[in-house]
Structure 1
Amino acid sequence: MDHLQCKVFFGLVICLWTAKISQAYQTVENDLTDENSLASSYFFYQRPEYPRDCQEVQDHCSYTNTSGLYLIKPDGYPEPFEVYCENRQDSAGWTVIQRREEGIVYFDRNWTEYKLGFGFLATEFWLGNDKISCLTNQKKYELRIDITNSYGMSFYAIYNMFRISDEVSKYNLASLGEYSGNADTHITWCKINTGYENCTCQKSCENPHECLDTCDDEDICICPEDYYLMERLCVPRKQCGCHMFEGILIPEGGVHADSDCSRLAICRNGQLRWDETYECGNNEVCEIRNNIRQCYCKPGSIGDGADCITATDCSDLYDAGFTESGVYNIKPTSWLEEAFEVYCNMSDGGGWTVFQRRIDGSVDFYQNWTTYEIGFGSADHEMWLGNKKLYHLTKQKRYTLRVDLVNREGSPYYAKFNHFRIGNKDSKYQLLQLGDYSGTADTQSTPNGYALTYHLNQAFSLWDEDNDAGSSNCAEGNHSAWWYKNCDNSDLNSDYHAAWGSDASIEWYYLPGSNYNILYTEMSLRPF
């Protein structure tokens, strides 16, 4: 009964309504004349059969006025076993099947342990479902439950026809009969560590020096002395936590830093302890999250707040448990400037660092060399990450390039190249490697990935930095920027839905359905 104080006496006692159960006792083994072989807590009897319950112990034995341990053997049970027989002043012969007193026995047990029984019959125990089943199926039994709360108040409940089934039926509570007693009022709904009163100074962990209730309140469940209300539970004072000078309550075992995170308060056993060496590192920020102020990793950094490192790409973030697609900060290993924002696509195995996206034509992609070098647009919408960043990204690891495309008819396709790398500024951010192709973005009649492999080893070319292999300025003619050769088999940075046709629109030659005026593009990287 989880609503009771742990220190209560909780005993379930069974007796026969018409003939009360009495105490059992132990047979004498070997030499019946050896009086020393009889333990003082057992009583000798001379009948050949064992009593079936504590009521029959009282009927069959002498000296049965004392509560204690006795042997019984219910019908159907293979061997006799010990039980605790309770003899009260008003009645005797109660067979105790369960008792809780001080929490010395662990009751969170498995099926087998509850089947066989556990604990100590003289203190805390569960008799065992097998034994209780045999007991309650041989006669009509009365169940009595005695309860004492944390204030010493005693209550009882009696059910006049208690029976459980066997193991096949999962020891089903088959019958209870009619109820009598006084345990069906206030204590049945007071939670653990609470009592029932109408005049008390109820204190809370948040306001330990103020009373929440007065003697004018109606009868309620309240916390006893030295217990405090925490949310809806009563807990000892030390479990409340610690109060800081700012009026902040730190839970037991919790932490909270001062205003500039130069010290960290730790709550242990209801007392504050200060770590004077506490400080935030370069990748950390002092702020409040979830009502706790301390050093936290900056967005995109990985760690526990005490030691944070910046992710080098979205794969690092995914491996660290950041599995939601969105905007994060990364810093490639050779990047000497501040960390920068990228969009991490966590689909298809996660960890894809997006460096180009076209969605609706809201961003003008006809930009100059400097703008393409730095990057433009918004990480979570239309964007070009920047050639300088892309170089440092592809320099640190071997990357797979994924190109996602939706043609003008709305059909999705993709292309993957398993070793994508570009050169530095001196090489004009040359397309150095692509690797092997896989995907659905080419028709069967064309070489795999030819829409992009055609541009391999070409420098990045723009209207103000003509690096293509042709005689004309492909970037100017296509209103775009790309790794042009003479001029292109693909161009994902051209005008969105260009009115003048395929030569100046987003295109990917050999794309099934339609290879120009493409509706959606996304280019992303993940370590191979």
Structure 2
Amino acid sequence: MTQLYILVIQRREDNSINFNRTWDEYENGFGFLSHEFWLGNEKISYITNQRKYQLRMDITTESGCSFFVTYETFRISDSFSHYKLVSTGEYTGTTDPCIEWCPTNKVLNRCKCEGSCADPTCTESCSSTPTCVCPDGFLMDGEDCVPRENCSCFIEEAENGQGVVLADTLETGSNVIGLLHQTVKHIVQRTPTAFDLLQPAGWTGNPFQVMCDVSDGGGWLVFQRRDDSSLSFHRDWNEYREGFGTADGNFWLGNDKLAALTSQGQYELRIDFVSKSGQQTLC
């Protein structure tokens, strides 16, 4: 009967040895064979090119659950090829009883500070046992952990930069942003909503089309509308400067035009939102 020997190439038990090392240190090896260590890429390359070797990993979780996995043929190349992993072969092992699989976008961490799309602020709490948490840059949307930019529309707050959610996601809701000025009332005094050509004082370009609305008694000039996701608002500087879209659909009027308009006098800004459930909000 042939006796099998296991040559240990790495051991990590308590993080007493730092494994965040340079290329040369991983090439030569580091640590202590009786405790935590890495044998070294050069030595492992020399050994695994002598004959066929099997790789085995023994793992014990923080909760004390132990398991191992094996790969049938393990070999790495030499220094000339930068110790490339050449072969691992067939995998065997069972990890399900010990491994907790986190939901999409979540990671294991001892500390938790989960904001939500409804309330991006959070208070950090830590425990001795890692749990699946929504990481930095992500927020909870119901039971899902989603990127912050997928949450909704935010107003930035200078105090903490977190923002306050104003509406549901724009794919299913809508928003309209307008300026209030007395001249707009004169433009659309004949009808509650109208499209007109406008050329502000000092504007050297051609007259541009605007949508004006006095349906509530005010004089609103609409400079942005997003009813759905049919028009991308992920644009470059020049496009936001010139404007894009059409006044009778989704659009941005343009920074140059807004600068010319708001330099004429005092304006009031109004933002109208409609959530995916049909609830209307304005500010």
Using structure 2 for the length normalisation, give the TM-score: 0.42
Structure exhibiting the larger radius of gyration computed from Cα positions: 1
The structure showing larger relative contact order (alpha-carbon pairs under 8 Å, at least 6 residues apart) is 2
